[in-house]
Amino acid sequence: MKITVIGAGNVGATCAQLLANAELANEIILLDVIEGIPEGKALDMYESMPIFESDSRIYGTNDYAKTKDSDIIIQTAGLARKPGMTRDDLLVKNADIVNACIGSAFEYSPNAFYIIVSNPLDVMTYVALRKTGLPKTKVIGMAGILDTARYRSFISMELGVSMQDIQGMILGGHGDTMVPLTRFTTVAGIPVTDLMSKEKLDAIVARAAGGGGEIVKYLKTGSAYYAPAAAAVQMVESIVKDQKRIFPCSVLLDGEYGYNDVVVGVPCVLGKNCLEKVLELNLNDDEKALLENSVVHVRETIEEAKKLLGM
């Protein structure tokens, strides 16, 4: 297994380290346009492998030729948010970056699976799909896992119980228009609505939707990276190990939930063939309305990206 991580910033470097620690690939390529950064970080990680008892090999490079025949490409390169910025504010710069990076990677790895992490996530996944021309099963975005992880962690904080017992599902676009399915949220099988008030749950949902912005306010010169990287690596693990796990991922809809030609988060089965199945849940009227709002917002941003890139 050969995995390439595009972008040696905080998210990309953390991805590479987590992949190597878990020995999810024999060879990991960390690529960045800045000379010396991927080489130095990769060497540092390589030297930590004996401590983690991992035989993964990590190499840093500025040359896409070194990524040739990768099985999985993880796209993290792009500008990070600053205080006051939304994910959509990154559209102009990151559309160009993702378009260029994915185009170069595809030249050397046309058969790879592509996992997109760059923001605005759903739109960048659409850009990658159109740039490569690959089927939707091979280009997916990481978003719902991160949103759900934040949601679960905040429920754990409120109830004082193990995060391992909390299950949840968040659909829709990554960000303020995400669709929390609170009626599907359980704690050791108990509906979360039996354990806390609607007001507290609503506050948790709002905090999860703004979870990235909350971190940006603290960091001031950067954005979240530990949780986003962990979410991407969890997707890789399900694919590499053919676990068939069900995660909310950003994928191109082709009639599912009544939508076409738009990328939003929906429940997906991830296995050796990457996206193996989209699960269609029986949403109630309120959930359908929230999803519609999310789809409209993402579609508008996709149209902006298409104009910028002449797609």
194's CB contacts (< 8 A; 6+ apart) are none
Exposure of 236 in the CB half-sphere (CA atoms within 13 A): 31
Task: Examine the residue annotation and report whether 297 is marked as an active-site residue of this protein.
Answer: no
CA 176, 140, 182, 291 torsion: positive or negative?
positive
Q: H-helix or E-strand containing 141?
A: strand 139-142
Given 81, 174, 297, 299, which residue is catalytic?
A: 174
3-state secondary structure of 34: coil
Residue 220: closest CA among 89, 80, 82, 85: 82
Q: Tell me the HSE value of 114 on the side-chain side, using a 13 A CA sphere.
A: 35
- Inter-helix orientation angle 226-240/144-159, to 10°: 120
**What sign does the CA torsion over 100, 27, 147, 271 have?**
positive
CB distance 97 to 122 below 8 Å = no
Pairing of strands 170-171, 179-180: antiparallel
What is the residue-wise DSSP string for 222-281?
Answer: ----HHHHHHHHHHHHHHHTT--EEEEEEEEEESGGG-EEEEEEEEEEEETTEEEEE---
- The catalytic site residues sit at 174
